[in-house]
Amino acid sequence: MAVSDQSSRTPTRCLHAALDAAAYSTRTSLRQRDLQDRLQAVLSRAVEAIGFDLDGLWLQPQGDGALIRFPAGIDETATVAGLIRELHVELTTLNSELIPAAWLRLRLALHVGLSHGAAMGLAGDAPVAVSRLVNSPQLRDLLKRSEQAPLVVIAAESVYRDLIVQRFRGLDPDDWVSADVVDEAKGFAARAWMTVPGKPSGPPPPPAVHVPTGTPQGPPTLFGSVESVEKLSVINGPVHIESGGFTIN
């Protein structure tokens, strides 16, 4: 949707999404072009899968990302859950055909609030807040620590409280962790919640320890295990047991 659309100048409460690609500035100009092409394709397919046309949304491109405003009156539960799911699917599919250095990895922020059209794009608290969230150090660190993840998500407190806590459309609050996002220089502070889509809930199980069949457990002794005592009965002569092993008298 063109930013000059006059009908959008009325402040409207909508769902806003901000996306940003990782490692954009470290790429050559040709690789940046490729990333932008892939980002547009992924985003277009993801929103189409949940019933929208990218050309029909308010889209404000930002080179390595975008700011999107969804129309008022939509099913926010279906849109939030669907957007997270479809972006994860599209990114996973795309990256499976690329070497790791070329992967497209995204940060996604979600916020519901007022915004309206202005001469150069969207104005209002909602687009500002969602932009602060997507660039928060907490979300950047989460993506860095989740090396194999193609997507990390941060949701404003209102989105978490109204949609995620209610477990609408399969959203699970147990998959989210809190983050206090503060930018003193910008005068911004907000409680938000983060998740890594596709990551199993809860801490990972401890690694399994493989014990070969027939291998005794416990502290080693001279003959390998206490079972050796029975085997020693075939040896002529008395057996004397001492701490730390066996000796034959």
Choose between 40 and 210: higher pLDDT.
40
Whole-prediction pTM value?
0.78
pLDDT of residue 214: 53
Rounded Cα gap, residues 144 and 117, in angstroms: 34
CA-CA distance, 152 to 234, in Å (whole number)? 66
Q: How far apart are CA 46 and CA 84, in angstroms?
A: 9
Own/partner long-range contacts of 240-247 (Cβ < 8 Å, ≥24 apart): 245/221, 246/221, 246/222, 247/222
My answer on whether 219 and 109 are in the same domain is no
* Residue 5: per-residue pLDDT: 47
Indicate if 104 and 171 belong to the same structural domain.
yes
Evaluate if residue 93 carries a pLDDT over 50. Answer: yes
Please give the pLDDT value at position 201.
53
Same domain, 131 and 239: no
Residue pLDDT, tens place only, 5-25: 445 688 999 999 999 999 998
The answer to whether position 205 is within a domain reads no
Same-domain check for residues 189 and 223: no
**Is residue 28 domain-shared with residue 120, that is, in the same domain?**
yes
